[in-house]
Amino acid sequence: MFDHDIIIIGSGVSGLSCAKILNDNNKKFVLYESQPEVGGRMSTDFVGEHKLDRGFQVFIKGYPLYNDVSDVDQLSLYSFLPGALIRLNNRFYKVVDPFRNIIEGFKSIFTPIGSLLDKLKILKLRISLLLKPSGNLTNNISTYNYLKNNGFSEEMINNFFVPFFGSVLLDKDLSTVKSTFETVYKAMSLDNICLPENGIVDFPKSIYNQLPKDQFCFNTEVTAIDNHVVTFADGTSTSSKSIVIATDATTASNLTQSFKAPLYCGTTCLYFVTSRQLIKEPMIITNAGEGFINTICCLTNVNHSYSSQNLISVNVNKIIPDITHDEIVDSVKLELQSWFPEIDFDFVKLYEIPNALPKHTPSEFNRMRNIPQGENGVYFCGDYLYGASVNDAIKSGLETAGIILSLD
């Protein structure tokens, strides 16, 4: 006999999605979370009057699986203008989706971000992805090779895809498997990029709010799993017929020794309050040139509830080695002042997130898909199994719940 039928470890989006489906099917679970609240990597801190997401995080409303676990229409969402403001050769160029904003999209044709042929190829790619069923997204090549195969020039790849999608995927080399790029690009084409009312944590909380609270144990770290027994940091243990490990891949690997974890893409995110708005529009700023900065989000241009002041996040798509936090802040601030010399920047907080997204090259993606499931009742669940997106994190939770439900 076991103490429990189902234990879930981790309350990120994958673990919560699994819990939601199990609960919908009257399956009781107990979920253990090492942190004081749900969210995992989709977390928000309240620092003074500011709402600070842990890293560069936006809510891509077009992901198809959101409504399998939540009612997105019940979330208060604030939208970015569909496109980006790209900095190239010390100038800013607005690139806007012409399907969503005809006037601004037409103006984008005349920017030096790629040739006219490149821009026509973007329209062709967008249409082909919208017509392609989500289940038909294949995984055999990198995003870079996929773009080259679709005829995009190096100039277009370096000046548009690398600064924009390289920041979304945290992968400036665009080595990420193409199915992840297709999933993200299709979702961005379908609907808006948004910020939730109270930060990115609003989405995982919307799943948690549908679940029985007495089945969650917070501030409870799992240190070992062996033969259906789960051991905690305080030395106590419990047992379960099925154990769902819904942590990041590194933690899952350390707990079970069942597979070698993939490498992760890290990111450094800094928050500043500015003396006035950097730009008027609710847009993401990306950098196609040199320097530390990859993206800037003018958060309060989009959602005033993030702060009563002008709050921005500045994102560097890597962990910067051999340099102190003070040196990072000084370097980024100096770069910001060179971009916007008339504006003052007051530092708020810095986050280093080494495990922001799994590094999904085609070979690593295929290796993760072959991780054994169900040995000694252990099931793995997370974005590292399907793709580096929130949609794939949900998918993993749904698939794992389906496997467990099929055991009856």
Instruction: Residue 252: give its domain's CATH number.
Output: 3.50.50.60
Residue 80 maps to a domain: yes
Q: How far apart are CA 18 and CA 178, in angstroms?
A: 26
Q: At residue 381, what are phi and psi to the nearest 5 degrees?
A: -150, 125
Q: Is the model more confident about 308 or about 408?
A: 308
What is the per-residue pLDDT for 140? Answer: 80
Claim to verify: residue 348 and residue 375 sit in the same structural domain: no
pLDDT band at 109 (very low <50, low <70, confident <90, very high): confident
Model confidence at 325: pLDDT above 90:
yes
Model confidence at 108: pLDDT above 90:
no
What is the per-residue pLDDT for 389? Answer: 93
Q: How far apart are CA 238 and CA 395, in angstroms?
A: 28
Residue 325 maps to a domain: yes
Q: What does the pLDDT average to over 93-103?
A: 79
Model confidence at 333: pLDDT above 80:
yes
Cβ neighbours for 20, distance < 8 A, ≥ 6 positions apart: 69, 207, 210, 211, 397, 401
Claim to verify: residue 285 and residue 299 sit in the same structural domain: yes
Both tokens of residue 40?
């995992």
Cβ neighbours for 322, distance < 8 A, ≥ 6 positions apart: none
Claim to verify: residue 192 and residue 326 sit in the same structural domain: yes
Range with the poorest average pLDDT among 105-114, 203-212, 335-344: 105-114
Q: What does the pLDDT average to over 348-369?
A: 92
Q: What does the pLDDT average to over 290-309?
A: 96
Claim to verify: residue 100 and residue 209 sit in the same structural domain: no
What is the per-residue pLDDT for 216? Answer: 98
Q: How far apart are CA 153 and CA 358, in angstroms?
A: 27
Q: What does the pLDDT average to over 340-359?
A: 96
CATH number of 159's domain? 3.90.660.50
Claim to verify: residue 178 and residue 231 sit in the same structural domain: no
Range with the poorest average pLDDT among 112-121, 322-331, 337-346: 112-121
Q: pLDDT (tens digit, 9 = 90+) per residue, 39-57?
A: 999 999 999 999 999 999 9
Q: pLDDT (tens digit, 9 = 90+) per residue, 173-205?
A: 999 999 999 999 999 999 999 999 999 999 999
Q: What does the pLDDT average to over 356-381?
A: 92
Strand, coil or helix: 24: helix
Residue 47 maps to a domain: no
- Find the helix or strand (DSSP H, E) in which 154 lies: helix 154-156
Between vectors from CA 289 to CA 190 and to CA 61, what angle results, nearest 5°?
15
Claim to verify: residue 254 and residue 191 sit in the same structural domain: no
Cβ neighbours for 145, distance < 8 A, ≥ 6 positions apart: 178
Strand, coil or helix: 395: helix
Find the helix packing angle between 390-405 and 178-190, rounded to 10°: 110
DSSP secondary structure string for all residues of 247-293: S-HHHHHHHH-SSPPPPEEEEEEEEEEESS-S-SSS-EEEE-SSSS-
Strand, coil or helix: 142: strand
What is the per-residue pLDDT for 267? Answer: 95
Burial of 143 (0-12, 13-18, 19+ CB in 10 A): buried
Instruction: Supply the range of the domain harboring residue 277.
Output: 52-197+264-358
DSSP secondary structure string for all residues of 178-223: HHHHHHHHHHHHHS-EEEETT-TTHHHHHHHTTS-GGGEE-S--EE
pLDDT band at 96 (very low <50, low <70, confident <90, very high): confident
Claim to verify: residue 102 and residue 174 sit in the same structural domain: yes
Q: How far apart are CA 31 and CA 13, in angstroms?
A: 13
Claim to verify: residue 209 and residue 222 sit in the same structural domain: yes
What is the per-residue pLDDT for 270? Answer: 98
What share of the chain in percent tops pLDDT 90? 85
What is the per-residue pLDDT for 181? Answer: 94
DSSP 80: P
Q: What does the pLDDT average to over 328-351?
A: 97
Inter-CA distances, 133 with 6, 30, 186, 395, 408, Å: 33, 35, 10, 15, 31
Residue 374 maps to a domain: yes
What is the per-residue pLDDT for 112? Answer: 86
pLDDT band at 408 (very low <50, low <70, confident <90, very high): confident
Q: How far apart are CA 138 and CA 126, in angstroms?
A: 16
DSSP 119: H
317 in Cβ contact with 294 (< 8 Å): yes
Model confidence at 10: pLDDT above 70:
yes
What is the per-residue pLDDT for 136? Answer: 58
Number of domain units in the chain: 2
Q: Is the pTM of this model over 0.85?
A: yes
194 in Cβ contact with 78 (< 8 Å): yes
Claim to verify: residue 296 and residue 319 sit in the same structural domain: yes
Q: How far apart are CA 371 and CA 93, in angstroms?
A: 44
Claim to verify: residue 208 and residue 277 sit in the same structural domain: no
Both tokens of residue 10?
């981790």
pLDDT band at 106 (very low <50, low <70, confident <90, very high): low
Q: pLDDT (tens digit, 9 = 90+) per residue, 114-168?
A: 888 998 999 899 999 998 877 655 668 999 999 999 999 999 999 999 999 999 9
The pLDDT mean for the chain works out to 94
Question: 87-93: long-range contacts (C-beta < 8 A, 24 or more apart)?
Answer: 87/285, 87/286, 87/287, 87/288, 87/289, 87/339, 88/112, 88/113, 88/159, 88/288, 88/289, 89/289, 90/289, 92/279, 92/285
Claim to verify: residue 107 and residue 130 sit in the same structural domain: yes
Both tokens of residue 227?
């033969």
Claim to verify: residue 343 and residue 211 sit in the same structural domain: no
Q: pLDDT (tens digit, 9 = 90+) per residue, 237-290?
A: 999 999 999 999 999 999 999 999 988 999 999 999 999 999 999 999 999 999
